[in-house]
Amino acid sequence: MSEWISTVTKVVAAGVVAAVAALASGSAFGADAATCKSLTATDFGQVLDAPTRLSTADVISARAGVPAYCKASGYVATNVGVEIRLPMSAWNGKLLFTGCGAMCGTMLGAAACDDAVARGYACATTDMGHRGLPYDGKWAYNNPIAETDLGHRATHVAAVAAKAIITAFYGADIDKSYYRGCSTGGRQGLIAAQRYPYDFDGIIAGSPVLYQLMGPPLQLFWGVTANLDTNGDPILSERKLPALAKAALDACDAVDGLKDGLIDAPMECDFDPSVLRCSGAPDDNCLTDAEIAVVKKMYDGPPPPEGKSFAPLGMLPGSELNWGGYFRGGKQSPNYGFAGELLRYLVFADDPGPSYEPTMFDWQRDPQRLNLSVQTAANPDLSLFRDGGGKLIIFHGLADSAIMASSTTSYFDMVTRTMGGAEATGEFAKLYLPAGLGHCTGGPGLNTVDFLTALENWVERGEGPDGLTAYNIENTQPVATLPVGFKPSQAKFARPVFPYPARAVYDGSGDWKDPRNFTRGSSGD
């Protein structure tokens, strides 16, 4: 493994040397504390389409690989919060806008700015037009203006404002603008490409919440009720999930030709949980008939209304250890509470209010009543984004239990058909499916990929990404957020990830932890 680490380290080092050379050649800019403080006295009210006022601007001292930066916060009329982090020296001339999560309500995206600021980016984010906890929906109660901000407007106007503020701070125009986000942040990225195709030169959109393809919220509503009995008590305990996960791994691990503790091809494995049926007294290592029925419901997904159909919504084998959010505590589970907030305040045209429970959702009547058009990110026509030179990287972890990877592959298949086929689509958009990755982060598999460098090379040098090296490290950050100071030697293992529908295939010899022992293959190899 040491040889491939040495090779990749040389590549990373070469990129750093090139970046330093670019900064030294005059593309770097600097500012002082007075310039930072003066931002609050600057009138940004004339920014076209995004009148803005900054209320705070302070210098944050350098720390742990992150240089000092000016942190400026304020709002875009009428109520869209915006935060920008501006390196005090060595600005690389670029903006990275970071996405939010769940229903936002805070500056969640700022947590993903460290690696960007360390690379010289000015980094911006938004609260998406309201204040609240990420799983709180009360702000949306009969509030269509705030719902429009969450749906699409907030990211756009915050990006417009950020560009104006950055230009004012450095006294220079922005060279390139990029976007990076996951979950709700992935939806923000796709909406930017679909509705505001000129906001960003390149977009990284992970695990996107598509809505109109009937991913979340339908799977969320289904998952929190599928495990409840007629009394509202949970049927399957979270304690059973490790045994279920092991059985799924035993059945599906080698489907891709390599037994490595990861399920690389979950869509090709037909796992039957009945293999765990209890033969004696039930314990944590077996399933009763009622529990097997629950597991099958999770894999199958919700039943569509008669005569209708949904995009694939079922859980994939390999996601089982992440089902705790649905099962833990029954109606006190985290996902039950989140589903309740969505149903009461956001997803219906007429909000039913605080008395509504997820168990009231009528699967024959209510799916077609959902009013999510203002938030949909499922338009497959990306012509304007493509024609403007935009580049799009989508990724989705195969062990995701919050948003099913199959909904994203369904969307990408639609994009491919709409945009002229696989070759034409691959000129500007690619989808990656890291094995063993949970919802944006976590899981036993590939949890770190430098998508930002790949996007830079694609946009700025015309070097389209193909096989990217993905790593398994101790990482609690989103997969696309490279830890500050990251070194390939930190990885427990690595392997290439190829654009869908291709995937990495073990060549049958050598250490499976070494990415050089994998080649580009396709489903069924």
pLDDT at residue 327, as a whole number? 85
**pTM, 2 dp:** 0.92
pLDDT at residue 20, as a whole number? 31
496 pLDDT more than 60 = yes
Predicted confidence (pLDDT) per residue in 232-267, tens digit: 999 999 999 999 999 999 999 998 889 999 999 999
pLDDT at residue 479, as a whole number? 82
Segments of 169-277 assigned E as strands: 176-182, 202-206
24 pLDDT more than 60 = no
Q: What percent of the chain has pLDDT over 70?
A: 93
309 pLDDT more than 80 = no
Q: Which of 15-24, 235-244, 357-366 has the lowest mean pLDDT?
A: 15-24
pLDDT at residue 30, as a whole number? 65
| CA 163/CA 147 separation, integer angstroms | 24
Among residues 162, 175, 168, 180, the alpha carbon closest in space to that of 28 is found at 175
Q: Token digits for 55? A: 């209320």
Instruction: Give the pLDDT mean for 178-186.
Output: 96
12 pLDDT more than 70 = no
**How many angstroms separate the first and last alpha carbons of the chain?**
25
Helix or strand run (H / E) with residue 76: strand 69-76
Output 42 or 328, whichever has higher pLDDT: 42
pLDDT at residue 53, as a whole number? 97
pLDDT at residue 214, as a whole number? 66
Chain mean pLDDT for the chain: 90
pLDDT at residue 21, as a whole number? 36
Instruction: Give the pLDDT mean for 487-491.
Output: 88
227 pLDDT more than 90 = yes
**β pairing state of 122-126 and 80-87:** antiparallel
Instruction: Give the pLDDT mean for 189-203.
Output: 98
